[in-house]
Structure 1
Amino acid sequence: MMGFNNIIGHEEIIGHLKNAIESGKISHSYIFTGEPGSGKKLLAGTFAATLQCEAGGTEPCQKCDSCKKAMGKNHPDIIMVSHEKPGTITIDEIRDQVINDIDIRPYYSPYKIYIIADADLMTPQAQNALLKTIEEPPEYAVILLLTNNIGGLLPTIQSRCVRLDLKVVDDGLVKKYLMEHLHVPDYQAEIDASFAQGSIGRAKEAATSQEFAEMTQNALRILKYANTMEVYELSDAIKSLSEDKQNINDYLDIFQFWFRDVLMFKATQEIDNLVFKQEINFIREQAKQRSYENLENILDSIQKTKVRLKANVNFDLAFELLFLTIREK
């Protein structure tokens, strides 16, 4: 576990939480909302550990008994609410783990903290049952709801919690983090950071996954030679993609970054802001050969492909249409 000092980005939220700790004005319920991998669990966990820390500062000391228990995920007064079924949190689970438990005083800490990840999965009945507790909590209780779909929470719950919106982290910060902490080489960190779209969790995953590195190489092989590929080569490329369907959105993201780079270079002739700087020769070549209109059409077509796949349009057909657009000059 780390302190607030080690968290990348989210300065405003950290400032808000530290002020609350310092002034002793802790709310009984918070909603942390943001994209998957944006750091909700890390922020909520750090906040919980700091509230329980025996040193009483605005960072967890990481040395006291309470911090050690929080780090080991076995703190009796920090309760992670769990659920059996993957897509739903039932009223019984909320009753057993929160409502019937919250009146028992903390074992040895100032607070009793409940962390409900994927809070939007609570059924309306479960949310309504929790609402009563949120409205009249014991003075030592703090409930932290984490969600990447704020619309899944009832308006009555939303209106009674302090809402903290996690913004995406700047690409530059993500890149710096990957290079310093995970020793990812410069050009790879650039790709991973762009791909992560401001999510440190997603960036870490990309940086440490052999699969992602192979996927990037595979996508680049197609992109660099898409101009000159024969139709049969393109259909082979489609086949290789269709064998990797679960990662198809990641492929499309990489396609998007590539053609954005080509468009950006065509417009500015500058290398600094490119994701695929190390492929500048291919990018320069494609920028020369393609018109602005063609590049806009391709980016539009990539977006449409994502929509088509969501709507379960035939996979090969969706990609043939995309590759036809890519092959037009």
Structure 2
Amino acid sequence: MQEVEKVLGHEEVIRHLQNAVEKEQVSHSYIFAGEKGSGKKLLAKLFAMTLQCEEHKKEPCMHCSSCRKAMSRNHPDIIYVEHVKPTSIGIEEIREQLVSDVEIKPYTGPYKIYIVDEAEKMTIQAQNALLKTIEEPPAYAVILLLANNNTGLLPTITSRCVTLNFKPVRDEVIRKYLMEELHVPDYQADVSVAFAQGNVGKAKQIATAEDFTEMMDAAFRILRRGSDMEVYEMVDALKNLSEQKHTIYEYLDLFLVWFRDVLLFKATKEMDSLVFKDEYNFIKERADKSSYEGLETIIKAIETAKARLQANVNFDLTMELLFLTIREN
């Protein structure tokens, strides 16, 4: 089986890249835009391998010397730009690893390819330093900016790059992959698919988590006991959970799926379409208590809380506002 066929979804992106290779119209700079876990890194690696492959086809052959080096990340002309600070990529890192380095011709391959993961973390200065290279690149340079959220990139950068958007992968494709390739039981696959919202990485992570059931139970305890707990107790409980193992975003995504179930049950009164069928009694009880508008307000509030945390707004404040909304509605 070809490596590219193992990529779930993203047919449009793959088609675009393969056409560019076949017609020899590879752009000097690309933005791969899509959330974490959507498959950007895997496709960037495969695209880089294809460009350097000694067989010069539209997919990497996987057995030539160039492909073997690339697979073990030892290819001298495929450079992964590293950064020390987890929250930012600085001007020195971009200058040293990319801007200065790109002046040196490729060692072995026809191209010199730079992969910048989490490119939205580049500081303004780093982006400005990169701009000149993007405007006047050497003929052999290809720069791949992988962005979880490309609103962090300057318009001067985005306007000079080809942007490829990684859209959510269809639920049935992910479900089939989880059950057939990873042998995940159907209930767990259903929950993982609903939780992942089209993100393969996220679905895989949650489906294969050893403490999958524990994580769900912990999240549900907070939701079930919401009316008996003080807001600060709920915030503390969630803080403790997200400090132990899973990220806060995973718990918020579980909340989201749970409240979507409540809304769905309120509208249909049917149990079959629920993701969390085991939670039937609690979901029914919540559906009786809340109005349609109230549930929609809660779902919006969970989305807002995720966005605020990504923008580094204070954790306690964000969670307090969320739990107040859950209590009030």
Distance in 2 between residues matched to 1:302 and 1:148, nearest whole Å? 19
Question: What SS does the aligned partner of 1:210 have?
Answer: coil
Residue of structure 1 equivalent to 2:43: 43
Does structure 1 conserve the Cα–Cα contact (< 8 Å) formed by 2:235 and 2:316? no
User: What's the TM-score, normalizing by structure 2?
Assistant: 0.84
Please identify, of 277-286 and 258-267, the stretch whose mean Cα deviation from structure 2 is larger: 277-286
Give yes or no for the alignment of 1:241 onto 2:244.
Answer: no
Partner of 1:106: 106
Residue pairs, 1:214-253, within 5 angstroms: 214-223=214-223, 225-226=224-225, 231=228, 240-246=237-243, 247-253=247-253
- Matched with 1:74 is 74
* SS in structure 2 of the partner of residue 114 of structure 1: strand
When residues 311 and 186 of structure 1 are mapped into structure 2, their CA distance, relative to the original with a 3 A threshold, is same
Q: Deviations over 1:176-234 (max 9, x none)?
A: 222222211111111112222222122222122234431112223454x549x7x3699
Give the partner amino acid of 1:244: L
Relative to structure 1, the CA distance from residue 273 to residue 24 in structure 2 (aligned partners, 3 Å threshold; closer, same or farther) is: farther
Answer yes or no: is the 8 Å Cα contact 2:83–2:89 preserved in 1.
yes
CA separation in 2, counterparts of 1:316 and 1:125? Answer: 33
State yes or no: 1:122 paired with 2:122. yes
Change (3 A) 1:325 1:50: same
- For the pair 1:208 / 2:205, whether they are aligned, the reply is no
Paired residue type of 1:193: V
CA contact (8 A) 2:262 2:284 kept: yes
Verify the 8 A CA contact 1:206 1:213 in the aligned structure 2: no
Residue 268 (structure 1) aligns with: 268
**SS across alignment from 1:143:** strand
Q: 3-state DSSP class of the match of 2:18?
A: helix
Q: Is the 8 A contact 2:232 2:320 kept in 1?
A: no
Q: Matches of 1:33 and 1:307 in 2, distance apart?
A: 17
Q: Which protein is bigger by CA-based radius of gyration?
A: 1
Paired residue type of 1:199: N
Letter of the 1:103 partner, please give it: E
SS in 1 for 2:79: strand
Q: Indicate the larger mover: 96-105 or 138-147.
A: 96-105
**Structure 2 CA distance for partners of 1:207 and 1:104, relative to 1, 3 Å:** same
Partner of 1:136: 136
Q: How has the CA–CA distance of structure 1 residues 253 and 126 changed in structure 2, closer, same or farther, with 3 Å as cutoff?
A: closer
Q: 1:209 to 1:125 in 2, by over 3 A?
A: same
| Larger mean Cα displacement after TM superposition, 160-169 or 131-140 | 131-140
Deviation string 1:274-325 (CA, Å, 9 cap, x unpaired) is: 3224544654565567654554455456557668884555588557635644
Aligned ranges 1:312-327 → 2 under 5 Å: 312-313=315-316, 321=324, 324-325=327-328
Structure 2 Cα separation of the partners of residues 101 and 249 of structure 1:
37
Structural RMSD (CA): 3.1
Deviates more, 1:312-321 or 1:185-194: 312-321
AA at the equivalent of 2:250? D
CA contact (8 A) 1:298 1:325 kept: no
Moved more, 107-116 or 304-313: 304-313
The alignment of Structure 1 onto Structure 2 pairs a total of residues equal to 323
**In structure 2, distance between residues paired with 1:83 and 1:108:** 25
Q: 1:187–1:277: 8 Å Cα contact kept in structure 2?
A: no
TM-score by length of 1: 0.84
Distance across 2 between alignment mates of 1:315 and 1:137 = 43
Q: Which moved more, 1:109-118 or 1:309-318?
A: 309-318
Q: Residue 184 in 1 paired to residue 184 in 2?
A: yes
Which residue of 2 is the match for residue 15 of structure 1? Answer: 15
Kept in 1: contact 2:116–2:146 (CA 8 A): yes
Name the aligned partner's letter for residue 54 of structure 1. Answer: E
Match of 1:83 in 2: 83
Whole-angstrom distance in 1 between the partners of 2:201 and 2:210: 16
SS in 1 for 2:101: coil
Amino acid at match of 1:160: R
After superposition, the Cα gap between the structure-2 partners of 1:222 and 1:110, relative to the gap in structure 1 and judged at 3 Å, is: same
- Alpha carbons 2:219, 2:254 under 8 Å: kept: yes
Compared CA separation, residues 8 and 226, structure 1 to 2 (3 A)? same
Change (3 A) 1:271 1:125: same
CA contact (8 A) 2:79 2:113 kept: yes
Letter in 1 for 2:28: H
Q: Deviations over 1:75-130 (max 9, x none)?
A: 11111111222233233222222222223222221211111112222233332222
> What's the offset of the Cα at 1:264?
1.1
Alignment of 1:164-175 (within 5 A): 164-175=164-175
Gap change, CA 1:3 and 1:324, over 3 Å in 2: same
